[in-house]
Structure 1
Amino acid sequence: MNKNKLIFLIMAVLFLLAMCWIGYDISTRTTFPGSKGNLKERMAPSDSLETNE
């Protein structure tokens, strides 16, 4: 294996590891939208959103 191919493979592996780490970090800081309880805004429309006059 020549030197350029080895450098490319090392850089590709490092890039993939970095992307996996970033994805894991983002996923631990956020919650799945379906896991939230029923908020009041979802249960009944708010008075401020109505446009009836």
Structure 2
Amino acid sequence: MKKNKIVFLVLAAIFALCMLWIGIDMSSRTTFPGSKRNLKERIAPSDTVKNNVKETKD
């Protein structure tokens, strides 16, 4: 193989490993939104919902 081709393959492999490492790091620090338990905002209605209900009753 030519020297340029070897250098390119080494740099491509390093880049691919870096991208894989970044992807694994990001995925380990985040959670799927659907896996969260019921948050306080989901259980209790917010102020905007209360205001909208009062406006429609008047």
- What range is the shorter-chain TM-score in? 0.7 to 0.9
Dislocated runs of 4+, deviation >2 Å: 42-45, 49-53
Aligned pairs for 1:3-14 (under 5 A) are: 3-14=3-14
Deviation at 1:38, TM superposition (A): 1.6
- How many residue pairs were aligned? 52
Computing the radius of gyration from Cα coordinates, the structure with the larger value is: 2
Q: What fraction of aligned residue pairs are identical, expressed as a percent?
A: 65
Aligned pairs for 1:1-53 (under 5 A) are: 1-47=1-47, 49-50=48-49, 52=52, 53=55
CA RMSD in angstroms, aligned pairs only: 1.5
TM-score by length of 1: 0.80
Q: Extract unaligned runs of 5+ from structure 2.
A: none
Q: d(CA) in 2 for partners of 1:42 and 1:8?
A: 52
Instruction: Give the AA of the match of 2:28.
Output: T
